[in-house]
Homo-oligomer: A and B are copies of this chain.
């Protein structure tokens, strides 16, 4: 046996196959219900922080900066398990979703529209008014 994690603390990050933009797609699944909550991206720094802090830290492509999930809404995602796929280019996180809401629309999951009869149909309810989640303290 050659050296353990202490000898190569960041080797696991090198095994991730990053896109040309230095990103990797991440699927967040509720560890309790198995429901897919959201899909987002991480860069190397955000993935390292996710593991170090035990909470989801994404890379916001639209804002071009780190995005600690729940930093505004309080809907933090606590990391329970992290997996890598066979190609090494997709991550799957099992998380504990604080507040039970992952979507900015105030729903549990971002996947709340289902294809029914040839149309996308909203089938999940809003749990909490988004206006009350993002500093809308009136």
A29 within 8 A of B: yes
Known: A27-B39, A36-B27, A38-B85. Contact between A5 and B119, CB under 8 A?
yes
Give the residue name and chain of the B residue nearest to A5 (CB): B118
Count, chain A residues at interface, CB 8 A = 41
Number of copies: 2
Interface residues of A in 98-125 (CB under 8 A from B): 103-105, 107, 110-115, 117-120
- Whether B39 contacts A85 by the Cβ 8 Å rule is yes
B25 near A115: Cβ-Cβ < 8 Å: no
Which one of B9, B83, B103, B119 contacts A113 once the chains associate, using CB atoms below 8 Å? B83
A102's nearest neighbour on chain B, judged by CB, is B86
- Distance from A50 Cβ to chain B, minimum over Cβ atoms (Å): 10
> Which A70-86 residues have C-beta < 8 A from chain B?
81-86
- Closest chain-B Cβ to A49's Cβ sits at a distance in Å of 14
> Can you spell out 14 A-B residue pairs with CB atoms less than 8 angstroms apart?
A5-B117, A8-B118, A12-B118, A25-B39, A29-B36, A33-B34, A82-B114, A83-B111, A83-B112, A84-B120, A85-B111, A86-B104, A86-B105, A86-B110
